[in-house]
Amino acid sequence: MTDPHLAEVIAERRQLINLAYRLLGSLAEAEDVAQETYTRWYALTEQQREAIESPGAWMTTVASRICLDLLGSARARREQYVGDWIPEPLPGGWLDGTGSAPTDPADRVTLDESISMAFLVVLDSMTPTERVSFVLHDVFRYTFPEIAEIVGRTPAACRQLASNARRRLDTERDRSTTERADVVRSFKQAWESQDIEALVGLLDPQAVATADSGGLALAFLEPISGAEQIAGAWMEIATRGMAVTLHECLVNGQPGLVGRLDGATVSVYAFDVADGRITRIWVVRNPEKLRPWSVG
């Protein structure tokens, strides 16, 4: 018999991936969570499914609990990871007209501040219950009693968890996308022209650059701190002789850069900008995390 909720549960896929990506920082894992949620839905008997008043709420609860379990084991998995782990970057459309972003709406996540690389990196520093409580409440507007049912805590405890998480996020700075794009464009031009003085001037003196290769591509293993040190490292990259072309694009909804070699994406650069200078650079070189960038 055809599932009477079929259209409703299929429509939930985008919501599930949106939620799971923010909770896990991995599109591949988010897709797996969505698939597992559907598997559990169809493992129910027809009578059990009929008894569920809101299939969408049921699926969100199941997906959140799957993510909570995965977050609990993530630390152990990260200990085996080579170098630093950075959330998987998502394409958000080209800014310079050289290509097009993947367009499957079910597989793309809404591009807003809650998936910026800076936001996701802070989320990754939270405990699993803090992260789930904060994302469900502040991003998806779930009530604390609803969240309590999902994470197995009291509503008051969930409120405190979300409050603790909120304090970790820097929500004070109002950075315009135009300003970010101008700074990233200037960084690209200075890098391509090997103008080290210009690079230093675009970097905050306390800037930090972090790379993620997973041991599968050439990259620096330890974070680089300081404007001069970062500029020096980027000059070394520029003089390696590989014909990498740089393109301006949106990375997780914010201005960034993508590096291509012989038509293949080999690196993605995300930036955080404050007061007209770059404060953080995240470089993703792990080819397994660049899968979404191979389309288009």
Phi/psi at 208 (5° precision) = -130, 135
What mean pLDDT is predicted for residues 252-257? 92
pLDDT at 169: 76
pLDDT at 73: 87
Q: Are 87 and 240 in contact (CB under 8 A)?
A: no
pLDDT at 280: 97
Residues 175-190: tens digit of each pLDDT: 567 788 999 999 999 9
Task: Reply yes or no on whether the pLDDT at 23 is more than 70.
Answer: yes
Q: Which fold has domain 177-294?
A: Nuclear Transport Factor 2; Chain: A, (3.10.450)
Count H helices, E strands: the chain?
A: 12, 7
pLDDT at 176: 65
pLDDT at 94: 36
Decide which of 282 and 57 is more confident: 282
All CATH 1.20.140.160 domain ranges in the chain, comma separated: 6-85+125-168
pLDDT at 108: 43
CA dihedral 105, 106, 110, 116 (to 10 degrees): -110
Handedness of CA 193, 198, 199, 200 (dihedral sign): positive
Burial classification of residue 6, based on how many CB atoms lie within 10 Å of its CB (0-12 exposed, 13-18 middle, 19 or more buried)? exposed
What mean pLDDT is predicted for residues 215-232? 95
What mean pLDDT is predicted for residues 145-157? 95
All CATH 3.10.450.50 domain ranges in the chain, comma separated: 177-294
Residues 65-92: tens digit of each pLDDT: 999 999 988 877 877 888 899 999 998 7
Highest mean pLDDT among 65-79, 104-118, 150-164: 150-164
Class of domain 6-85+125-168: mainly alpha
pLDDT at 117: 92
pLDDT at 188: 97
Q: What is the mean pLDDT of the chain?
A: 87
High-pLDDT (> 70) share of the chain, %: 87
pLDDT at 102: 43
